[in-house]
Homo-oligomer: A and B are copies of this chain.
Amino acid sequence: MQRRPRLMSAAILAAAFALCATAAAAAGPLPSWTEGKTKHAIVQFVKEVTARGGPHYVRPAERIAVFDNDGTLWAEQPMYVQLAFVLDRVKALAPRHPEWKEKEPFKSVLAGDVAGVAAGGEKGLLGLVAATHAGMSSEEFEKTVTEWLAAARHPRFHRPYTELVYRPMLELLAYLRANGFKTYIVSGGGIEFMRPFAEKLYGIPPEQVIGSSIKTTYEVSNGKPAIVRLPEIGFVDDKAGKPVGIHTYIGRRPIMAFGNSDGDFEMLEWTTSGPGPRFGLIVHHDDAVREWAYDRESHVGRLARGLDEAPQRGWAVASMQRDWKRVFPFEK
């Protein structure tokens, strides 16, 4: 009588384990991606390049995957997160700069004319960044970014911007790393704006973040050295700048690239035109209910050539509406 319950417990435990294993196997990787050709293409590619002895095997050192950030890893509407940061900084610093009231792009910023600022694109944004964020050390700037991110809220979702990350993409980053990939951000956004949060948010360390930058200089003041930020654009990591950034920082052509706008076109082109197995994917924002729907006519994240040429170039297009079961981690 004593052994029976024990046996039953063991049997129940075994059954439970079997169920869990089955459930895990059924869910497989990328649980927030719907079963379909996009998810299948990703998983199939990863299986092929990691199959030792297979015809498409790629050694781990060459498994480099690059991701755009704005609109690919986190939301970029109604404006780039970094633009929201810049607007807030301009407002905070305005009392010390009375001349900004009459000078663009500061005038638009202070008047709340977001469209006027956004029309300048990322390059305009970088001009604002250079004008308002120079003359401090990199450590001070990092502190400013971290404090702002903790306090700021997204105007539609009323949550910290760091919660506006795409759950399917977080799963994808983790899945690729579990398969020996080194994951990089290659963004038009500021490298020093992204580095303070990329490790915590995406598991991507600062040395794997590539972005636009202003120039810096090394200065020793009273025996204390610092990297000081200068009011001068250094590198614009957008469009044809992306392959240059990849080459400069990584020195090796990636085998996978993920983007969402025409600013990612050259990165996708450079990645997928190398020899051996290659994978390119465009996130298509076509979900006005859970996120936003925009492409050809948008000032932010404009996508036209990418959509037109994706089929002939063999790039996958992930429909946010159809390919993603969930968009944000906070969705039930």
Chain A positions within 8 Å of B, measured between CB atoms, are: 61, 138, 182, 191-192, 195, 199, 205-207, 209, 213, 216-218, 220, 224-225, 227, 240-241, 243-244, 247-252, 266, 269-270, 273
CB distance from A224 to the nearest CB of B (A): 7
Beyond A216-B247, A220-B269: 14 further Cβ-contacts under 8 Å?
A61-B205, A191-B251, A205-B252, A206-B250, A206-B252, A209-B251, A216-B244, A217-B240, A218-B241, A218-B244, A224-B273, A225-B243, A225-B269, A227-B243
Q: Please judge, given known A-B contacts A205-B61, A251-B207, A273-B225, whether A217 and B195 are in contact too, CB under 8 Å.
A: no
- With a CB–CB cut-off of 8 A, which chain B residues contact A195? 251
Question: A61-B199, A247-B138 are known contacts. Are A207 and B266 too (CB-CB below 8 A)?
Answer: no
CA distance A199 to B252 in the complex (A): 12
Residues of B within 8 A of A244 (CB): 216-218, 227
| Whole-angstrom distance between the Cβ of A38 and the nearest chain B Cβ | 25
List residues of chain B with CB within 8 A of the CB of A227. Answer: 243-244, 247
Assess whether A240 is in contact with B216, with CB atoms less than 8 Å apart: no
A270 to B216, alpha carbons, bound, how many Å?
14
